[in-house]
Amino acid sequence: MIPDLQDAQRLDAEDPLAPFRDRFDLPPGVLYLDGNSLGALPSATPARLAEVMRQEWGQGLIRSWNTADWIGAPQRVGGKIARLIGAQADEVIVADSTSVNLFKLLSAGLTAAPGRRVILSETGNFPTDLYIAQGIAAMDPSVSVRALPRDEIIAAAGPETIVMLTHVHYKTGQRYDLRAVTQAVQARGGMILWDLSHSAGAVALELSAAGVDLAVGCGYKYLNGGPGAPAFLYVARRHQATLRSPLSGWMGHAAPFAFSDDYAPAPDLKRFLCGTPPILSLAALECGVDLFLEADMTAVTEKSQRLCDLFITWVEAHCAGHGLTLLTPRHPAARGSHVSFAHPDGYAVMQALIARGVIGDFRDPDAMRFGFTPLYLGYVDVWRAVQALKDILTSRAWDDPRYAARAAVT
């Protein structure tokens, strides 16, 4: 039997994560299904930022590098993210953007083994991942980039490859088996670099247990760090002494305040810092991460799976016959925390939904993405979103010239 609104109400009443909803500032009347792209604002963040600005910056001034431990923020927040992704505290650091971290780790991985000259990735991976790889190959003609369909990647891995994959696909939501792929790549002599942008804070991860070599991830999606929040990077302990960042900035130096002329990398993960850390952005990210640390990642994963399951079930039951095709795997272990449906007029349908306060997004050529963030969405929210979608499709409300015009950011 297909669940109904009463079932959704019952699930909300029993939901152990429901109290987290009040820890976010969301506009009334909005159903926010885009936390996979830009997370919502934690209620604690504005006050914390005001404190960092007024007290730590305004009053403490430069002393706050020591007294407020600004200097330790990349490692401190990295250590907290480590707990969310199943890594050791000294294996994760916050720095730069995901794109820059991809550059640093790919370059470091290639340089560490002279025979490793191929960046192997997936066709249709998130563009920045492929573009960064192509940029590295453009600087060094001995490096090449190979992008293959996902079912051909393992067979192509070998000692000459660093395999760069996005764990949860940004468009389809498809999820790799992190442990199985890591071990298969390593068994063939390859090194693995995971992009966890759509995974951290969305699904339970065990990087250490899976033996992952390298990883990067976003701070502004499920971690709720705010627009353009700094990203994180992970380097397994066993690689930390040998990998060197190509961006040998002073913050990655073993003794930055010795001001010596010659670069010597820090002995630990700090070597992957480059310039002065963005303290205000780090403070906002820390608020998002702290909130997550209060939640149980197993409960988050289970709720994410249920929210996505219900969305798929209800869309297929209530919106049948309107040209929607599911792009996301049905099996919870094979997907992340967003669900995509293709529709030939997906852009306009999504704009009509947004006009009604149901905010998802769209990815060319036809994918409507709906993100399910267990900390601030409930089961009745999913029901309401599907009812709005049904209304729009049935009434053809999307067929309005206002909804056809493309915005700069989609």
Binding-site ranges for ligand PLP (CB under 6 A): 97-99, 126, 128-129, 166, 170, 195, 197-198, 218, 231
> Could you tell me the smallest distance in angstroms from the CB atom of residue 235 to ligand PLP?
18
User: How far is Cα 322 from Cα 396, in angstroms, rounded to an integer?
Assistant: 10
Where on the phi/psi map is residue 323: left (φ > 0), alpha (ψ -120 to 50), or beta? left
Q: Which two tokens stand for residue 210?
A: 């899976």
Q: Considering beta carbons, is residue 345 or 361 the nearer one to ligand PLP? A: 361
> Could you tell me the smallest distance in angstroms from the CB atom of residue 228 to ligand PLP?
7
Catalytic: 48? Answer: no
Q: In terms of Cα–Cα distance, which of 294, 249, 289, 274 is closest to 89? A: 289
> Could you tell me the smallest distance in angstroms from the CB atom of residue 197 to ligand PLP?
4
Contact status, residue 379 vs residue 11, Cβ threshold 8 Å? yes
Catalytic: 379? Answer: no
Q: Which two tokens stand for residue 290?
A: 């702290």
Question: How far lies 52's CA from each of 48, 57, 147, 281, in Å?
Answer: 6, 6, 44, 10
> Could you tell me the smallest distance in angstroms from the CB atom of residue 162 to ligand PLP?
16
Examine residue 16 and say whether the peptide bond preceding it is cis (omega within 30 degrees of 0).
no
Q: Considering beta carbons, is residue 214 or 392 the nearer one to ligand PLP? A: 214
> Could you tell me the smallest distance in angstroms from the CB atom of residue 284 to ligand PLP?
15
Catalytic: 195? Answer: yes
Q: Which of 20, 24, 103, 126 is catalytic?
A: 126
Q: Which of 34, 195, 213, 366 is catalytic?
A: 195
User: How far is Cα 99 from Cα 127, in angstroms, rounded to an integer?
Assistant: 10
User: How far is Cα 168 from Cα 306, in angstroms, rounded to an integer?
Assistant: 17
Q: Considering beta carbons, is residue 166 or 351 the nearer one to ligand PLP? A: 166
One-character DSSP codes across 156-207: H--TTEEEEEESB-TTT-BB--HHHHHHHHHHTT-EEEEE-TTTTTTS---H
Q: Which residue has the tokens 């936390």?
A: 35
Q: Which of 369, 372, 379, 403 is catalytic?
A: 369
Catalytic: 303? Answer: no
SS3 248: coil
Q: Which of 220, 234, 311, 341 is catalytic?
A: 220
**Dihedrals phi, psi of 213, to nearest 5 degrees:** -80, -60
Q: Considering beta carbons, is residue 78 or 378 the nearer one to ligand PLP? A: 78
User: How far is Cα 223 from Cα 38, in angstroms, rounded to an integer?
Assistant: 9
Q: Considering beta carbons, is residue 218 or 233 the nearer one to ligand PLP? A: 218
Q: Considering beta carbons, is residue 163 or 393 the nearer one to ligand PLP? A: 163
User: How far is Cα 58 from Cα 319, in angstroms, rounded to an integer?
Assistant: 55
One-character DSSP codes across 282-312: HHHHHHHHHHHHHS-HHHHHHHHHHHHHHHH
**Dihedrals phi, psi of 258, to nearest 5 degrees:** -85, -15
Q: Considering beta carbons, is residue 196 or 392 the nearer one to ligand PLP? A: 196
Catalytic: 220? Answer: yes
> Could you tell me the smallest distance in angstroms from the CB atom of residue 42 to ligand PLP?
19
> Could you tell me the smallest distance in angstroms from the CB atom of residue 222 to ligand PLP?
11
Residue 222 gets which letter from DSSP?
A: T
Contact status, residue 210 vs residue 187, Cβ threshold 8 Å? no
Q: Which of 221, 271, 303, 363 is catalytic?
A: 221
Catalytic residues: 126, 195, 220-221, 369
